[in-house]
Amino acid sequence: MTTTDTPGTTAPQDPQDGSAPADEGARRLPALKEMTRDLGLVVALVALLVIGVATSGERFLSVANLMVILQQAAIIGVISIGVTFVITAGGIDLSVGSVLGLATVWATTLATQTMAQDLHWLVMVFTALAVGTAAGLVNGVVVAYGRVVSFIATLAMLVAARGLAEIISDRKTQIVRVDPFLDTFRGDLLGIPVIVWIFLVVAAAGWFLLNRTTFGRRTVAIGGNPEAARLAGIKIRRHTVMVFALSGLTAGIAAVMMIARTTAGTSTNGYLYELDAIAAVVVGGTLLIGGRGTIVGTVLGVLIFSTLTNIFIQNNLSISAQSLAKGAIIVGAVLLQQRFAARSRSS
């Protein structure tokens, strides 16, 4: 990302310039609105936790179970951070699940070759990240320079990446037995699984990137009003490529976490994860048409879904019932958001 340092305005300073006292109240307003929106998600999450306790009692609230919820949230969560950027920029990325699968296959293939036994495990990690980023770059180039709608471009990648993963792995599951790798990523740090730490770090970095950097600002602008962004001198195509590459990178990070959790790479890894990620992003409050994104919302959305899954599992309910509930939550959340948006517009 380039940084533009602008020289000061040529204007003389206005005598009445300075901080306006009336400003403070107004400044808090958007933040407050954002918080009330996130607050709704927090309430939903707490309600789910209460339901969990009511139906499964102590077992549900045990530290071990909460860690399970977080671990389940972690992989989808990391992907969702990347997808948040793509959606905020007005696009969609359907390929993240497949790219994750491809990255696990590619990295584990490398790690299980006999000739690769001397390679440091970091090479495997970098391979996964590179594969993810490269796939994202391809998406971005096709969307930005080929002018293909992102839905189609990433749908093509979804299919193609899965195919490539099958070719590379010959549809076999490759078990990773690199102990230092497994020790690092399957371990705990301060009582919290490393995988969860990765999620937290990626989420924090994503928040910072979206809210505090030129990159994030421009992402919002491109999603909100591409013509305005272009006229403001933003290089839209280059930026779009970077946004998709970022999404690919998070898929690569998620691939590393996946290998660690399952100790395996297989072409079916990450199957339909793109839908879970998009659902979490949208439920979190990021506008599907672009122009507004929230990382905090995405994180809460992911947690809501993984908590829901956990409750269903704890109560031995079927996957099918779980899917039904997920569908209802998605529609309900979006309906609520629209109400909220309509009300804030009219006020």
Partner 1 sequence: MVTVDSASAPHPPQPLLRMEGIVKHFPGAKALDGVDLEVLPGEVHCLLGQNGAGKSTLIKTLAGAHRPDRGEIVMDGEPVVIGSPTAALELGIATMYQELDVVDGLTIAENIFLGHELAQGGVLRRRETHARTRQLMSRLGHPELSPSREVGQLSSAGKQIVSMARALSRDAKLIVMDEPSAVLDPEEVDNLFRVVEAVQAEGVAVIYISHRLEEIRRIGDRITVLKDGRTVATNLAVDEVSTAEVISLMTGRDVATDFGGASAGPQGEEPLLEVDGLSLAGVFEGVSFTVRPGEIVGLAGLVGAGRSEVLETLYGARRASAGVVRVRGRDLPRGSVPAAVSAGIGLAPEERKAQGLLLDEPVFRNITLSTFGRFARGGLLDERAERRAATEQIEAMQLAPSDPGRVTRTLSGGNQQKVMLARWLVHGCSILLLDEPTRGVDVGARAEIYRLIRRLAADGSAVVLVSSELEEVLQLSDEVLVLADGRVVHQGPAADIDEHRILDLVMEGTHA
Where on the chain is the footprint of partner 1 (CB under 8 A)? Answer: 1-7, 9-14, 16-20, 22-23, 26-27, 29-31, 212-215, 217-218, 220-221, 223-225, 227-235, 287, 291-292
If one counts every other C-beta atom within 10 angstroms of the C-beta of residue 166, the result is 17
Both tokens assigned to 58: 């102590």
Sequence-ordered list of residues with C-beta below 8 angstroms from that of 98, at least 6 positions apart, any chain:
157, 158, 159, 160, 161, 162, 165, 270, 274
- Residue 13 CB, shortest distance to partner 1, in Å, is 7
- What is d(CA 267, CA 143) in angstroms, rounded to the nearest whole number? 25
From residue 344, alpha-carbon distances to 38, 40, 335 in Å are: 15, 15, 14
SS3 of 250, please?
A: helix
For residue 121, give the amino acid letter: W
Comparing CB distances to partner 1, the nearer of 11 and 272 is 11
DSSP calls for 142-175: HHHTS---HHHHHHHHHHHHHHHHHHHHTT--EE
Q: Taking the complex as a whole, how short is the minimal distance between the CB of residue 285 and partner 1, in angstroms?
A: 12
Report the nearest approach of partner 1 to the CB of residue 18 (Å).
Answer: 7
316 CB-side CA count, 13 A: 0
Rank residues 18 and 146 by Cβ distance to partner 1 and give the closer one: 18
CB of 226 to partner 1, least distance (A): 9
Residue 237 CB, nearest distance to partner 1 (Å)? Answer: 11
